[in-house]
Amino acid sequence: MGNIYKSTRTTVAVLLVIAVMVGFAAELYDIQIRNNEYYAAQNNTVKTYTVSIEAARGEIVDRNGNPLVSNRQGNSVMLDAAYLPSGKDGNKRNRIIYNLMQLFNKNGEEYAHNLPLKLEKGKIVFFDKDDDEDYETAIETMKSKDMFNLQPYATAQNCFDAMVEKYSLEVYLKKFDVQTVLEMGNIHYELTRLLFSVSNPVTIADDVSDATVAQIKENERVYRGADVRVVAYREYADSTIAPHIIGTVRKINAEEYERLKNEGYGINDEIGESGIESAMESYLRGVAGEKTVTIDGEGNVTEEITKEPVQGDTVVLTIDKDLQRVAQEKLRDICRSVSVSLSTGAVVVEDCNNGEILAAASYPTFDLDRYYKDYNKLTKEANTPLYNRFALGTYAPGSTFKPMMSLAALEEGVITENTVFGCGQYYDVGNFTFECLAAHGGENVRTALRDSCNIFFYNCAQRLGIESMNTYGKMLGLGEKTGVEIPEAKGILAGPEYRKRIGSYDWAIGDTVQAAIGQSDNLFTPLQLCNYVGTIANGGTRYKMHFVKSHISRSTGAVTETPIASNGQISVKSSNIKIVQQGMRMVATGGGPSSVFADFSPHIACKTGTSQVIINGIKHNNGFLITFAPYENPELSVATAIEMAGSGTSTAEITKSIINYYYNHNTNEKRAQSYSTLL
């Protein structure tokens, strides 16, 4: 019985072997004889890929055509999948990556370090906030299914072990130290993170030296798959000029790439991060070119540029570079004279007849060339130099609110130009007593502006009521965005509407008189204050403020001007505006800043303001000044805000320097030109 069983089993086994052999023979016959031509053609199939060629970003120039941001040529090192050994051939690929890493380290080049792991005291640990502001997201991405496919609770060492296995680095871990393997892993990780393929070469080192370029070119076998590309890097005529306006660029992130890839963005592209670089991204970014890469059946690679890239448009700003420098330097000097460590501020200069911003400065500031190198340090500084105070900073405006109050009271008929209120320094409302800086005696609207008499405006407030006050405040753009291209705060117009919105206590009559002198909940940006005084200066047109004068097409040379837009004509009599202008002129000739402005030419009109803040338990006064010039035929409006300045009068030197420079050094505009060509 046993012999029969063994015989049957042997027979079945033999038959299976014969069947398999027959199958192989049939398959071999099919491939080599019957369908030889088909399979030969398949083996020799030519594969074609399209690779994007980066276009240089457009230039940014000032209103007179002076370059602010241009491009310079530099070299980046990319890995090209058409030449780099396949990931399946881990040893060859790793040898090339090791060679490149050694070259970069030797020549002091910075290269890809986006793997959120580091070696600290001999131990693998995760990145922290000092290494990357978005370190938590970076660690989550590293553990994700598309990367190392680890559980959320995986340790840093778990991630390192997964990296070694994924990229076949075991041999290097035995041969070299952990830091070397970690650096190799960084380059591998960059390829994975940026979806490395023939169609998508990945940059692993930016702006490398000529020495590095020469060594890669001279040793193509050692660095096989590494390609040096000439690319455009942002270059600043003066990297300290207008950084909060110009803004920054950076590599596109994964989230942005997913959102924008259908608009032609590649995962290696740069994108405007802030300021005009971001606001005008669609014009500055240019049109990418295309390169066709062909790989034949024997692995030979040919390349052909099939579409040339087109550089982005030139963006012409409304600012005057030299006026901007004066504004920045004078703002810095005044802030430092107030308090080197604590005082901050902003200044804005507008053409009050069209809304063009001629200068806008925030202090402290930063250097665009050093932005990324100094980023972590900048974010930790107590006085926040990255914060844009002229657009995002909101301040209680103090007495700079009084020209609006004057206009509202005149227009509503609760006063005339001859109405006089007596000021005995104190004013009772309900159970509260409010104060003026002095007992001014009888004041009319013009002298009340000159002397900044609180009592006069308390009386106006009780006759107007908060609703009427806010109608005129909104009309003049207070608590409303100005329309600039970059992010700006809306601010707050004090009143029952705001209190209700935040769920705070009810509005009372005492709040109304406080609001009348620019206190209570009122908070406005320097942009709004400048636009507001510009509206009074020009006779009542509130222009939409803007930083972009025009943009010039790189491909056609066509100039597209930014249209002059109005946010509305305020509904007030020109005679009432004239009365307010006269009162503001009296501030310059007989008020607090008269020592600076009384004999100044051109004649100016202005209003000072002070608001109280508490810093480290100590009371300080912020100083404000709103100005227009020339008084007889207004062209410029200026707003300054200096924290801890003590009074608005102390800011007058900034305004004087700006207006003096404008009228003594201003040159005729000329059409902006493109200065350099690249790619």
Convert the pLDDT of each residue in 338-355 to its tens digit: 887 788 999 999 999 999
- Tokens matching residue 266: 């590649």
Read off the pLDDT of residues 380-428 as tens digits, 9 standing for 90 and up: 899 999 999 999 999 999 999 999 999 999 999 999 999 999 999 999 9
**How far apart (Å, rounded) are the C-alpha atoms in residues 448 and 446?**
5
Q: Is the Cβ–Cβ distance between 32 and 285 less than 8 Å?
A: no
Sign of CA dihedral 516, 517, 520, 525: positive
Percent of the chain with pLDDT over 90: 69
Read off the pLDDT of residues 4-19 as tens digits, 9 standing for 90 and up: 545 666 665 565 666 6
| Torsion angles phi and psi, residue 40, rounded to 5 | -65, -40
What residues does 429 pair with on adjacent strands? Answer: 432
Read off the pLDDT of residues 192-208 as tens digits, 9 standing for 90 and up: 999 899 888 999 999 99
Q: For 273, what's the count of Cα atoms within 13 Å in the CB-facing half-sphere? A: 14
Greatest Cα-to-Cα distance within the chain, rounded to the nearest angstrom? 133
Please report the pLDDT score of residue 675 as a whole number: 33
Please report the pLDDT score of residue 671 as a whole number: 38
Instruction: Pinpoint the alpha helices (H) of 288-394.
Output: 321-338, 375-380
Helix (H) or strand (E) holding 51: strand 47-53
Q: Is the Cβ–Cβ distance between 154 and 139 less than 8 Å?
A: no
Read off the pLDDT of residues 256-294 as tens digits, 9 standing for 90 and up: 888 998 888 888 889 999 999 999 999 999 887 777 878
pLDDT above 50: residue 39: no
Length of the chain: 679
Calculate Rg over the CA atoms of the chain: 34
Burial of 125 (0-12, 13-18, 19+ CB in 10 A): middle
| Torsion angles phi and psi, residue 621, rounded to 5 | -110, 130
When the pLDDT of each residue in the chain is averaged and rounded to a whole number, the result is 89
DSSP reduced 3-state for 271: strand
pTM of the model: 0.86
Please report the pLDDT score of residue 23 as a whole number: 59
**How far apart (Å, rounded) are the C-alpha atoms in residues 284 and 554?**
10
| Torsion angles phi and psi, residue 54, rounded to 5 | -65, 135
Closest listed residue to residue 524, CA positions, set 404, 351, 358 = 404
Please report the pLDDT score of residue 620 as a whole number: 74
Closest listed residue to residue 278, CA positions, set 548, 75, 68 = 548
Q: Is the Cβ–Cβ distance between 557 and 607 less than 8 Å?
A: no
Please report the pLDDT score of residue 678 as a whole number: 29
Query: CB count, 10 Å around CB of 257?
Result: 18
**How far apart (Å, rounded) are the C-alpha atoms in residues 678 and 233?**
10
**How far apart (Å, rounded) are the C-alpha atoms in residues 137 and 18?**
58
**How far apart (Å, rounded) are the C-alpha atoms in residues 530 and 563?**
20
Query: CB count, 10 Å around CB of 219?
Result: 13
Please report the pLDDT score of residue 20 as a whole number: 58
Closest listed residue to residue 419, CA positions, set 438, 445, 441 = 445
Read off the pLDDT of residues 46-56 as tens digits, 9 standing for 90 and up: 778 776 778 88
DSSP state of 197: B
Read off the pLDDT of residues 216-250 as tens digits, 9 standing for 90 and up: 989 989 999 999 888 889 999 999 999 999 999 99
**How far apart (Å, rounded) are the C-alpha atoms in residues 490 and 492?**
7
Please report the pLDDT score of residue 309 as a whole number: 83
**How far apart (Å, rounded) are the C-alpha atoms in residues 403 and 521?**
18
Q: Is the Cβ–Cβ distance between 119 and 159 less than 8 Å?
A: no
Instruction: Work out the pLDDT band at 318, boundaries 50, 70, 90.
Output: very high
Please report the pLDDT score of residue 464 as a whole number: 97
**How far apart (Å, rounded) are the C-alpha atoms in residues 28 and 20?**
12
Read off the pLDDT of residues 83-104 as tens digits, 9 standing for 90 and up: 999 878 878 999 999 999 999 9
**How far apart (Å, rounded) are the C-alpha atoms in residues 467 and 521?**
15
| Torsion angles phi and psi, residue 654, rounded to 5 | -65, -50
DSSP reduced 3-state for 76: strand
**How far apart (Å, rounded) are the C-alpha atoms in residues 545 and 350?**
8
Sign of CA dihedral 207, 212, 216, 217: positive
Please report the pLDDT score of residue 115 as a whole number: 95
